[in-house]
Structure 1
């Protein structure tokens, strides 16, 4: 009887052990299968992110370089014609703004371009995307604004159009939906890289202005996009925008660099306030036609007085670079001061009346002449023995840093513009000074102002 009971217990135990063993084997196999599926799925996403980033980088670079080339060419043609016939300074801005208006009304769904704020609206929303027509809208509107004398630049137009390429890419693949911001930033990075021949400026702009955080996917996608974009730029043999021979800089100039940073920070707030003031007041006009007429009148009048303000103004910077041995006179000082203080007004009028663009090119323009004027004044009245061209370059970076609150973007962008890193440390110092000076006075930029400009 005891033996029979013992055998029964052993049998039940054996069956329980077999069941448990079988369950364990099944569970282990199931977990391995799940792990294998997850690994394969992640590998597929990894492959698709590579392909997507390569395509975004190539398309954004092609777009940026195309817009840059045709704008440079036609801006030069139109400006030369207007220089020979002053009446064209009156006609061109009105033509440009009216053409943009009709394109917007009948081709681009009656939607106004909001610049970089459109990117913020998309990255901050799970459902709102940048529609594909934004590529052509910003491309043509940015091009038309600059060649007809609108005093802004194509940089922001390129940024939004490039961001749209990234946005469209994430809409095409379901697996990309959760990487929306990263792919939009990849387009932005590639677009900036193509414009300024600086991969670091591209990815830093995407980080400092748009994304404002670091993730592995961000670094991966943006890294691939900027490398592709820079490859396209290198193959195309793009030269730096400003060929400046920078020999050296001196430690004794550091206090003067800091002074320039403070001046740039203060002036950037003036630029920001001008843009916000004009937009808020122009939007009170009942019709867009009234805004266009008023804006065109302001632009035309100022261009007649100061032709250097035409378009992005890079032609005026080139003229100064080609004549480095400037001597400060009353006329020259008044001209430079007029350019520095009137540029924000004409830029604001351009943007408020419907022109496409932002504060990138205006900041570089203002910074160049602010730096040059500062050096000439210090040399003339204080015998400072400064190198004016160094201050021109540093001024561009300082003003841009303060205007968009992105010192590292400004640093690498301006070094890319000149193709020279001799002034790396002075530029870094001044960019930090100008940014924090601007933030102390006014904590917002034209991109981050929280109050809506229109109803």
Structure 2
């Protein structure tokens, strides 16, 4: 049955390559990716909100918020159990970073199970109160849809990469009902370089996803009514952006610190217990941390500022303005901790949504606090919206995505100038300290980041050492003599002979000049010496898995054309030459040029 399906698919691909150009076919497939991505986004939102509503509606007693202490723990535990029970092959990852890694190092291939696994685990995690966002999981699910659809139709790397970006953009578009922001997200975060023609598939997929998602789940994320912004408030917008820019640096460093801390906990269930209990306590103290947290932002936009303290132990003091401001500021830091605890514990989600919440709360605290001084009268709703864009821009290094996303999901196009000001300011503040975003920092440190700021480094990072190995060398054994291998030495096309033990361990190498001197009688002592005695150590050795940039630095430093390669156990794998690297370099440049010409 499967064999017949593959045969029919192969026949179809042959037919479509003759009848439909690749550009036209990509538009058709982008439409398909958009349809599936929009359905996936609606499914994720609907499932998550159904779980959350079911849990909250079922608990009606006065102790309901004490019971909420357990819900995050249960959600994270169920998510971990699902991953360990149903995803046994490969590694389950979450966030935007693995998508970028797939483009840079895995030929844009994403495992098919991510199409549904991202939806299931994130719906459970966030639905049960995990303090994370749904946007990264749906982007991952959409990217998996695009990647596997491209592979299904036998497309090449550049086409699969474009469809992967279309899928991720469709996920963002469907999650927020924001097609423009989805398209810009794909270009700004996922596609390192692009040309005008890539807009067409992206537009098709994001528009389709938004339409499908809206038809299945039409509830808007935010409602904002604003007429305009006031010129005198520009200096305050700049002040807010400066504060949020500093906070984005703090958040990036907290991300690294917590990730390193959690890496020391090897037992996955111990992570669940530690994180679940910690998260439950945080939600008990700050109820607005439960789930995504968008409801709190909407209450602020509606003018219900006192509701920030609702359901908390401080609710009786909601009429004290400065206490509201102080509680909001503490909630921002609690949200940053809660989101990262959720993600590092084994739960699934992203920092996309938490970034919006933290920025919105800071925008509220800043403007509401300034109004309490009586010195100025700022539009609290406007500053809340602008704060969301500021945080997203600084944390993600995506100012354009932040601007258009906030404008679309709030209807705040009248705030375009403040949005542009704060997005640019927070981006440059964070970028001045953090060269890479939280999504790309780890990849950059590992040399796996595809970036066009440094063309040579980028191309080298795309190379895989195992694909550049040369193995057509005549191997010598340590107990052999030169005369035993007379024929092989004379007829070898290589001037280097690796000496390798019978178990594959690399011992050293011998140059052909020395062996020929021995065979021609110019070195009589050499006739009595074994290969192990004749072998010499190379100037340097390359281990499998070494970054190609490091390899080229070694070759340049020692001024050598070829170096031996061994694995982590010292086993001989072959040689790497500059010729192989340069040939691959040219091939990758040609592939990139073809990508840009589409």
Q: Under TM normalisation by the shorter chain, which class is it? A: 0.7 to 0.9
In 1, Cα distance between equivalents of 2:40 and 2:108: 23
2:366 aligns with one of 367, 370, 374: 374
Contact preservation (8 Å) 1:146, 1:311: yes
**Offset at 1:122?**
1.4
Contact preservation (8 Å) 2:142, 2:171: yes
Contact preservation (8 Å) 1:328, 1:380: no
In 2, Cα distance between equivalents of 1:361 and 1:163: 18
Partner of 1:188: 168
Partner of 2:455: none
In 2, Cα distance between equivalents of 1:272 and 1:78: 33
Give the structure with the larger helix fraction: 1
Contact preservation (8 Å) 1:50, 1:221: yes
**Offset at 1:214?**
1.3
1:198-237 alignment, distance < 5 Å: 198-233=178-213, 235-236=215-216
Partner of 1:164: 144
Partner of 1:15: none
**Offset at 1:289?**
1.2
Partner of 1:349: 341
Equivalent position SS for 1:124: helix
In 2, Cα distance between equivalents of 1:128 and 1:392: 37
Q: Deviations over 1:324-365 (max 9, x none)?
A: 566762321221011111111111111110111111111111
Contact preservation (8 Å) 1:324, 1:389: no
Give the structure with the larger strand fraction: 2
1:434 aligns with one of 426, 445, 459: 426
Partner of 2:115: 135
- Cα distance change, pair 375–55 in 1 and its aligned pair in 2 (3 A): same
Contact preservation (8 Å) 2:46, 2:217: no
The more displaced of 224-233 and 101-110 is: 224-233
Alignment of 1:97 with 2:76, yes or no, is: yes
Equivalent position SS for 1:86: helix
Partner of 2:41: 64
Partner of 1:12: none
Q: TM-score, normalised by structure 1?
A: 0.86
Contact preservation (8 Å) 1:265, 1:398: yes
Q: Deviations over 1:112-139 (max 9, x none)?
A: 3232122112111354610110111110
2:31 aligns with one of 39, 42, 54: 54
1:381-400 alignment, distance < 5 Å: 381=373, 383-400=375-392
1:73-152 alignment, distance < 5 Å: 73-79=50-56, 81=59, 84-109=63-88, 111-125=91-105, 127=107, 129-152=109-132
Alignment of 1:407 with 2:399, yes or no, is: yes
Task: For structure 2, list consecutive stretches of 5 or more residues without a partner in the other structure.
Answer: 1-15, 307-318, 447-598
The count of residues paired between Structure 1 and Structure 2 equals 415
Equivalent position SS for 1:241: coil
The more displaced of 331-340 and 171-180 is: 171-180
The more displaced of 41-50 and 63-72 is: 41-50
Q: Deviations over 1:203-242 (max 9, x none)?
A: 1100111113212452232122122223324545835311
- Cα distance change, pair 307–324 in 1 and its aligned pair in 2 (3 A): closer
In 1, Cα distance between equivalents of 2:157 and 2:433: 39
Contact preservation (8 Å) 1:123, 1:180: no
In 2, Cα distance between equivalents of 1:204 and 1:233: 19
Q: Which has the higher contact order (CA 8 A, sep 6+)?
A: 1
In 2, Cα distance between equivalents of 1:319 and 1:230: 25
In 2, Cα distance between equivalents of 1:41 and 1:364: 47
In 2, Cα distance between equivalents of 1:279 and 1:112: 16
1:271 aligns with one of 251, 254, 257: 251
In 2, Cα distance between equivalents of 1:413 and 1:147: 23
Q: Deviations over 1:361-397 (max 9, x none)?
A: 1111111110011001222226121111110110111
Contact preservation (8 Å) 2:137, 2:348: yes
Contact preservation (8 Å) 1:79, 1:310: no
In 2, Cα distance between equivalents of 1:41 and 1:384: 68
**Offset at 1:319?**
2.5
In 2, Cα distance between equivalents of 1:330 and 1:40: 67
Equivalent position SS for 2:276: helix
